[in-house]
Chain A
Amino acid sequence: MNIWLIMLVGGAITFLTRLSFIAILGQREIPAWLQRSLRLVPPAVLTAILVPELIFHSGSLDLSLGNFRLIAGLLAALVAWRTRNTLLTILVGMAVLFLLQAIF
Chain B
Amino acid sequence: MEPTRISLFWAGVRAELPILLGVAPFGMIYGVLALDAGIPPAAAQAMSAIIFAGSSQLITTQMVEMLIPGLLIVMTIAIVNLRHALYSASIAPYIRHLSPMWKCGLAYFLTDEAYAVTIVHYDQEERTAYDHWFFLGAGITLWTAWQLSTAAGIFLGTAVPESWSLDFALALTFIALLFPTLKDRPSLAAAAVAGICSVLFFSLPYRLGLVAAVLAGILAGVWLEGRK
Contact = CB atoms under 8 A, between A and B. Distances in A.
A65 interface: no
B210 A49 contact: yes
A49 B209 CA distance: 10
Interface residues of A, number: 69
Given A14-B51, A47-B191, A47-B198, 16 more contacts: A1-B69, A3-B40, A17-B78, A18-B108, A37-B218, A37-B221, A39-B90, A44-B218, A45-B210, A48-B197, A48-B217, A52-B199, A56-B199, A80-B175, A80-B176, A90-B169
**B interface bracket (residues with beta carbon within 8 Å of A):** 35 or more
Interface of B: 18-19, 21-22, 39-40, 43, 46-47, 50-53, 56, 60, 64, 69-71, 73-74, 77-78, 81-93, 95-96, 103-104, 106-108, 110, 112, 115-116, 119-120, 123, 163, 165, 168-169, 171-182, 186-188, 190-199, 202, 210, 213-214, 217-218, 221-222, 225
Nearest to A78: B175
Contacts of A9: 70, 74
A7 interface: yes
A53 B165 CA distance: 12
A39 B180 contact: no
Contact of A42 (B60, B81, B119): B119
B191 A43 contact: yes
Contacts of A80: 175-176, 178-179
